[in-house]
Amino acid sequence: MPASLTLNTATGLISGTPSSVGTSNFTAQVTDSLSASDTQALSITITDVPQKLIGTDDADNAAGGAGANFFQLNRFSASATGNITEFRIKSKTNANVKVAIYADSGGQPDALLNAVNTSTPITSGWNPISFPTTPVISGTNYWLAFITDTNDSITNQSATSGTFAYMPVTYSTFTFPNPAGTGFGSAVVTRFMAGYGTTTPTLPPDVPTPISPGTAITFKWSASTGATKYWLQVNTSAEFTGANMFNAEVGNVTSQEVTGLSLGTSYYWRVKAGNNTGWSNWSTVRSVLVNTVP
């Protein structure tokens, strides 16, 4: 079965939250009351799973805890482009939290992007919190923020990496503000927080527009002694009484491309040579059938 999915052998129910993409192949077997049985090869394909787009590593090498009634932010760079739909926070004990995501401006917290302003209970370990869909861009910096009502609930990951800002507030009445220009303290530390969601898939290329072959033809002729110009005529009739597809002087050249022709149609063409004394007679008439390329 796919990782993190399980089969209930009594009911046949497959359940769970997949943890990785991919296809898993398995064989199902049924047996009736007469002991007759049959098998069927089956597969389950997981095309997308929530993954961490931004935030701390999952390893628990905590070096301390956060204080209650402090609004605290940590700066991270998004590892992938996508939409955050879940905020995860790691606690050392039971507590209540509020969480948010901010933009970054020159290394400082800037505009509030989204928040869960309602008090959310958490327990020891990782806690998933449903979060309003928030797009992030790979390589762009953001600030993950929280406030808790319990001392030492949210643990530090490291005392020597990351960027941390804080400000004392009252948890019970706190609503996430725009922190730009407010009086934050700062330190070098990283809390156990992460934003999870789905990455933005790479779009396939645009659908190409078919171009019919054979709808443009280059007509060619031999050079005539004394000629300084040529005239090409292409017509739908052998008597040149039909529609002219081309009928003009083309200059001192021995070829001319004509476009806008239709597949499956025969065209008739002729050419004459000229100079400052006049024009020659028309050449012999030739025909061409505009058809598809083999």
In contact, 61 and 108? CB cutoff 8 Å? no
Distance CA 53, CA 171 (A): 28
In contact, 249 and 279? CB cutoff 8 Å? no
Give the closest residue to 119 by CA, choosing from 83, 166, 68, 84. 68
pLDDT for res 168:
87
What b/e string do you get for 21-59 counting C-beta neighbours within 10 Å, with b at 16 or more? eeeeeeeeeeeeeeeeeeeeeeeeebeebbebbbbbeee
In contact, 176 and 213? CB cutoff 8 Å? no
Q: pLDDT per residue over 82-104, tens digit each?
A: 899 999 998 888 999 999 999 99
Distance CA 45, CA 28 (A): 16
DSSP at 179:
-
pLDDT for res 294:
43
Which three-class secondary structure state does DSSP give residue 225?
A: coil
In contact, 121 and 96? CB cutoff 8 Å? yes
pLDDT for res 249:
94
Domains of the chain: 13-46 (no CATH), 51-199 (2.60.120.820), 216-290 (2.60.40.10)
Distance CA 271, CA 269 (A): 7
Spans of the chain, pLDDT less than 70: 17, 58-64, 157-162, 181-183, 185-188, 201-214, 292-294
Token output for 58? 């999952």
pLDDT for res 63:
60
pLDDT for res 206:
57
pLDDT for res 113:
95
